[in-house]
Structure 1
Amino acid sequence: MTSEQDRSPGLAARLSTIDESIVDAARLAGRDPGEITRIVVTKFHPASLVRDLHALGVREVGENRQQELTAKAGELGDLDLRWHFIGQAQTNKASAIRRSADAVHSVDRDRLADALHRAADDDSFLDVLVQVNLTDDPARGGVAPGDARALAEHIMTLPSLRLQGVMAVAPLDEEPASAFARLRAVSEDVRGIEPSARWISAGMTGDFVEAIAAGATHLRIGSAITGPRPDRG
């Protein structure tokens, strides 16, 4: 089993490599690297890895599953971390998600937005993004691009939610550049009703360069930084 002492040097090197690549891609696109947020996705990794990442300067962490989000955020409450929930959410888990997340990237229906709003127990805001489905498969998470504006308008009626922008995953059967160009068009439409909703959450390990070129502001990068996910068996 790899010790934390053995893990940290490799972790630091992988983090540095990705960050250098982000800077290079931003400059190639004529963008300021400082306007891009790198979120480290720690799915299935232990809380101790997140603590190691924090020691390396990471402050933005992403989780796909409510149970992991709740457990890790609770265990690491002493650290100044910003937690991003990026997975598909069930409405009956909205309260648990809201208690631990600072931002939810995967709002894809009115009912989920309503549930997140009802879960507010103080006067704080929850940052949310409209998840857009860029595939032809309606079973995939996200709203159709043509329905994103209506969902954004609904979110804006819920005072405890703060609409920040849009999120999507590039389809496997399409070039990332063209998919992210479509997402950018959706982003521009949403900004037509809420100019401050400037986040574009797009880009993972294999396509973040194309996402940056298309205007992505938030990248969701996992194993290229964390290493292979642990065996859950």
Structure 2
Amino acid sequence: MTLDQAQQSPSLAARLSAIDTRIADAARLAGRDPAEITRIVVTKFHPASLVRELHELGVREVGENRQQELTSKQGELAELDLRWHFIGQAQTNKAASIRRSADVVHSLDRDRLADALDRVADSDDVLDVLVQINLTDDEGRGGVSPADAPALAEHVLSLPSLRLRGVMAVAPLDEEPASAFARLHDVAESVRGLAPDATWISAGMTGDFVEAIAAGATHLRIGSAITGPRPDRG
């Protein structure tokens, strides 16, 4: 980026404010209270220094896709009052590392992962989790099928160190977001039938959070629209 481009690009504070304004407008358009919606800033590949800047701007909810980054940034910024959301695909052998660093895991998609996260719990520690739903026909994608979500939710409910908060999904690229999120809303209703307190719906990113809000999303995962382009990893 040239100096002229840097001078012309919006500041981090301006980008954050612009997204928050759009979220509030979308919530009101859907007849919802903007205060019901949690904006998570996804800082994938960005340095911990950016998270510190975000904290200074009032951000308290931060998301990471990779366990290594989550562990590194959480450790470096442990003195800050941040809530760390793990939103990437999780391997069972990373369960202990994820659990030590995350306050919420959005991507719980199988019994074995639930068991692994429960097994590494410290005494009375309780971890908030969401069941990830696969809204595509590709079984290789992360998430459980909508039909299998209640069974996974029931399994999570049987594990004492996990607290089921709700569901999470990514809208498929080949489907209108409104349609996909309407299906997710139905799955969320079925899960709430088993666990009335599981009211969270984690859905919506930069390109589709307006549709997600209209469908009842409570948690939005916003990345580069706030953080700016991801750094070149070399």
Same fold (TM over 0.5): yes
Task: Tell me the secondary structure at the aligned position of residue 40 of structure 1.
Answer: strand
Gaps of 5+ in 2: none
Task: Tell me the secondary structure at the aligned position of residue 106 of structure 2.
Answer: strand
Identity of aligned residues (%): 82
Distance in 2, Cα, partners of 1:9 & 1:135 = 35
Equivalent residue number for residue 203 of structure 2: 202
Change (3 A) 1:195 1:90: same
Distance in 2, Cα, partners of 1:35 & 1:226 = 23
Distance in 2, Cα, partners of 1:222 & 1:122 = 34
Distance in 2, Cα, partners of 1:102 & 1:78 = 15
Per-residue deviation, 1:122: 2.8
Task: Tell me the secondary structure at the aligned position of residue 128 of structure 1.
Answer: strand
Distance in 2, Cα, partners of 1:188 & 1:80 = 32
Is 1:176 the counterpart of 2:177? The answer is yes
Q: How big is the alpha-carbon RMSD for the aligned residues of Structure 1 and Structure 2?
A: 1.7
> What amino acid does structure 1 have at the position aligned with 2:138?
D
- 1:183-205 CA-to-partner distances (Å, cap 9, x unmatched) read 00000000001000000000000
Distance in 1, Cα, partners of 2:10 & 2:30 = 30
Change (3 A) 1:2 1:67: farther
Equivalent residue number for residue 214 of structure 1: 215
Equivalent residue number for residue 72 of structure 1: 73
Distance in 1, Cα, partners of 2:70 & 2:45 = 10
Runs of 4 or more above 2 Å deviation: none
Distance in 1, Cα, partners of 2:83 & 2:2 = 27
Per-residue deviation, 1:165: 0.1
Per-residue deviation, 1:119: 1.0
Task: Tell me the secondary structure at the aligned position of residue 158 of structure 1.
Answer: coil
Task: Tell me the secondary structure at the aligned position of residue 43 of structure 1.
Answer: coil
> What amino acid does structure 1 have at the position aligned with 2:171?
A
Distance in 2, Cα, partners of 1:204 & 1:119 = 31
Matches within 5 A, 1:93-104: 93-104=94-105
Distance in 2, Cα, partners of 1:57 & 1:115 = 34
Equivalent residue number for residue 47 of structure 2: 46
- 1:118-161 CA-to-partner distances (Å, cap 9, x unmatched) read 11013121000000000000000000000000000000000000
TM-score, normalised to structure 1, is: 0.97
Equivalent residue number for residue 91 of structure 2: 90
Distance in 1, Cα, partners of 2:150 & 2:225 = 33
Distance in 1, Cα, partners of 2:148 & 2:91 = 20
Task: Tell me the secondary structure at the aligned position of residue 192 of structure 1.
Answer: helix
Distance in 2, Cα, partners of 1:64 & 1:10 = 24
Task: Tell me the secondary structure at the aligned position of residue 51 of structure 1.
Answer: helix
Per-residue deviation, 1:37: 0.1
Distance in 2, Cα, partners of 1:119 & 1:181 = 35
Equivalent residue number for residue 148 of structure 1: 149
Deviates more, 1:121-130 or 1:73-82: 121-130
Equivalent residue number for residue 163 of structure 2: 162
